[in-house]
Structure 1
Amino acid sequence: MTYCVGLLLDAGMVLLSDTRTNAGLDNIAIYRKMFVFEDPGERIVTIMTAGSLSVTQTTIARLQEAASHTEPDGPPSVLNVPTMLQVAELVGRELSEVSADVRSKMERNAQSATATMIVAGQRKGGDMRMFLIYPEGNFIEATADTPFLQIGEHKYGKPILDRVVTPRLTLADAQKVVLLSMDSTLRSNLSVGMPLDLLVIEKDACRASYSRRIEANDSGFAAMSSAWSDALRRSFAEIAL
C-alpha cells in the first residue's frame, strides 16, 4: 500500500509520498511513487501514485514516453497540452485505459488491479491546480474549501490536515504538517514506509523549488516525530474530563 498527500496553498504546493510496496509480509520493496515532469520556468507537473504497481508503472511509462517527444507534431503529453485541466484529462485517459487492460487480464485469474493518482502543477501564465484521478479516468480537484488531496492509506493522516490546513498556510508549515500526517500513518500502518519523497513548488515558479528524499535514519524527521508524540501526550494530560 502507500500514502501520498498534496497541499494546494496560496503560496504554492507541497507534496509528499512514501515508497513502500508490499505483496505480503515477506515481499516488501521500495518503489518511487512521485514523478516530476518539468520544463523549468514554463511548466511543472507532478504525479503521485497509489495502487497496483502494474497499473501505475505502465501508466507512468506511457506518459514519460509521450513527454520525451519534443518535435512539434509529437503526441499529446503532460508537457505540451495547453492547460492543467487537459493534463488531468490526459492522465485520466491513460490511467483508465491501462486499468481496463490490466483488469481484463487479471480477472481471468480472479484477481483485480486498481490505482489512483494525484496530479499537481502549473503552466506559465496559468493557475496552480491539483487533481485526484480515479481508476475510471474521472477526477476531482482541490479547492480553497478543501486544499488537500490524499491517496492510499489516508485515514490515519487526515485528522491533522482537517484541523491545520488552510490556503493561507505557509510553505514551511505545510512541510511540517504533511510530515506529521505521514508520521501518524507510519505509526499506524505497516504497509506505509520510508524513505519519503518531499517536493515544494512555489507559486508561479513553474519548477521544483525544493525536493528531498527522507531516509529511515533521518535525524530531523525522527526529532519531529518525537516532539509531536511528546506534545500530544502533554495536551492529553492537560485536558480535564
Structure 2
Amino acid sequence: MTYCVGMRLNHGLVLMADTRTSAGVDNFSVSRKMFTWFVPGECAFTIMTAGNLATTQAMISLLEERSKTVEERDPSILRQPSMFQVARLVGETLKEVIADSSPNGQTSDDQFRASVILAGQVKDGKPTIFLIYPEGNFIEVTEDTPFFQIGETKYGKPILVRAYDADMSFDDAVKLLLVSFDSTIKSNLSVGLPIDILVYENDSFDLGRQKRVEVGDAIYQSISTGWGAALKEAFHKLPRYSV
C-alpha cells in the first residue's frame, strides 16, 4: 500500500507521495513512487503510482523506453499534443502491462492491479491532473474535485476536504498535505517516510521544486506534533453534549 496526492491550485500543482512498500507486516522497504519527464518550454509531467510494484515499475520502464524512440508504434510521452493524449498513453500502457502480467487476462480482483496520478502541462494547455484506473480509463480534476488520491486514501481525505483553498500558497498546500500524510502514517503501517514532494508553477515547463522528507525531518516533526496538540485544544473547546 502507499499514499499519493495530486492537488491543483490556481497558480500550479502540488504533488506528494510516500515511498513505503510492504510484502507483509515484517517486510517493509523504500521504493520511489514519483517519476518526472520534461522538455524545457514544451512539456512537463509527473506520474505517481500505487498498487502492485512490479506492474508500476514495468509501466514506468516502458514509458521511459518509449520516450527515447522515434518509432510511431512506440509513441513517446514527450511528443503528445495535449495532457489528454498523455493520459490516454499512460492508461494504455498501464492496461498493457496488467494484461501481459495476468495469465487469465485482467479481472476486477487482479493481483497485478495498479492506479496512477498523472499531473503536468503541455505547451498551449493548462496544468491539470488525471486519475488513471487499472482498466486504462481516467478522470480529470475539476473545480468541484481539485485533488486526487491513490493508495490508502481514507485517513487523509477529511483534512484535505475541510482545509483546501484554490488560492492557498504553495507553502500552505505543502503543509496541508503533510498533515494529511501524517494522519495516514499514524493510522496505517503500510504508509511511511520518506515522502517525496514536487511543486510545479503554471507555465514553468520544468521539473519544479522537489524535496524528500526523511525520517527525523525537524519541520515535519514540528507539524506532526503541532497538529496533534491543536486537535486536542480544538476538541476541548467544543460544546459539551450531554446525554
TM-score by length of 1: 0.94
Task: List aligned pairs for 1:163-182, cutoff 5 A.
Answer: 163-182=162-181
Displacement of 1:9 in angstroms is 1.1
Q: Which amino acid is 1:178 matched to?
A: L
Q: Distance in 1 between matches of 2:211 and 2:91?
A: 27
1:21–1:30: 8 Å Cα contact kept in structure 2?
Answer: yes
Deviations 1:114-172 (A, max 9, x none): 10000000012211110000000001111111100000000000001111113222212
Secondary structure of the corresponding residue to residue 58 of structure 1: helix
Partner SS state of residue 15, structure 2: strand
Mapping 1:134-173, distance limit 5 Å: 134-173=133-172
Q: Judge conservation of contact 2:49–2:117 (CA < 8 Å) in 1.
A: yes
2:59 is matched with: 59
AA in 2 matched with 1:176: K
Q: Is the 8 A contact 2:99 2:105 kept in 1?
A: no
1:101-112 mapped onto 2 (5 Å cutoff): 101-104=100-103, 112=111
Residue 188 of structure 1 corresponds to 187
Count of residue pairs the alignment pairs up: 238
Q: RMSD over aligned Cα, in angstroms?
A: 1.8
Deviation at 1:206, TM superposition (A): 1.4
Q: What runs of 5+ residues in structure 1 fail to find an aligned partner?
A: none
Closer, same or farther in 2 for the Cα pair 1:111/1:174, shift >3 Å?
closer
Counterparts in 2 of 1:61 and 1:162: CA distance versus 1, 3 Å: same
* Deviation readout 1:57-76 (Å, 9 max, x if unpaired): 0000000111123x586832
Q: Does the 8 Å CA contact 1:54/1:102 hold for their aligned counterparts? A: no
Distance 1:106 1:20, change over 3 A: farther
- Alignment deviations for residues 170-190 of structure 1 (CA, whole Å, 9 cap, x no partner): 212111111111011001000
Q: Counterpart amino acid of 2:238?
A: I
Identity over the aligned pairs, expressed in percent?
Answer: 49
Change in Cα spacing, 1:106 to 1:73, as seen in structure 2 (3 Å) is closer
Q: How does 1:5-84 map to 2 (within 5 A)?
A: 5-69=5-69, 71=70, 75-84=74-83
- String of CA shifts for 1:83-127, please: whole Å, max 9, x gaps: 1000000000000111122122799xx972210000000012211
Give the Å deviation of 1:209. Answer: 2.7
1:220-240 superposed Cα distances (whole Å, 9 cap, x missing partner): 100111111111110001111
Q: Which whole-Å deviations, capped at 9, do the CAs of 1:6-63 have from their partners, x for residues lacking one?
A: 1011110000000000010122111000000111332110000000011100000000
| Gap runs ≥5 in structure 2 | none
Contact kept in structure 1, 2:37 and 2:207, CA below 8 Å = no
